[in-house]
Amino acid sequence: MTDSVVAPVPAPIAEGIFTLPPYDEAAPHLLGGRCLGGHGPFFPRPRYCPVCLDETEEADLGSEAKIYSFTVVRTRAPLGLPEPYSVGYVDMAGSGLRVFCLLDPNRIEELEVGRPARLVVEPLGTNGAGEPRLRPYFTPATAVPAEGDVEDDQR
């Protein structure tokens, strides 16, 4: 029997914005907040509701979205991100919340407005101290699956 060395999973870039691994049983989900008074959802989760200043609770925003807009950035990337990289807005399925996010740097040529996308969480870039970090980003999907379905291009 050989001992295999498993590299530790890097820490998330920020706490409370996505579910943590392992993802072998359930896809990662984006986490946000809802106001106890009924406002929201919001991303990221604010401590207090920006509408009524009530406290908020964690809300699962899911992992499926549709690309609303995007741009490809071809200048020097910050925090160890790959070059070029892409950012944009996605509309989260179900809640309709529009979220500004990173998009898959390995599939830039496949990005298009209106295309379904799925949340991926992987080591990507570093923090300010140069340490690897888990980051959420959206990758193009062929279709948004129905609840409980798994799609072929899931990472």
Supply the pTM of this predicted model. 0.84
How far apart are alpha carbons 43 and 121 in whole angstroms? 16
Give the tokens for residue 23. Answer: 């993802």
Q: What is the pLDDT of residues 30-79, one digit of tens each?
A: 999 999 999 999 999 999 999 999 999 999 999 999 999 999 999 999 99
Given a contact cutoff of 8 angstroms between Cβ atoms, the answer to whether 94 and 144 are in contact is no
Q: What is the pLDDT of residues 7-37, one digit of tens each?
A: 678 999 999 999 998 888 889 999 999 999 9
Q: Are strands 64-73 and 132-140 parallel, antiparallel or unpaired?
A: unpaired
Helix (H) or strand (E) holding 143: none
80, exposed or middle or buried, with CB in 10 Å at 0-12, 13-18, 19+?
Answer: middle
Any idea which residue has 């990005």 for tokens? 111
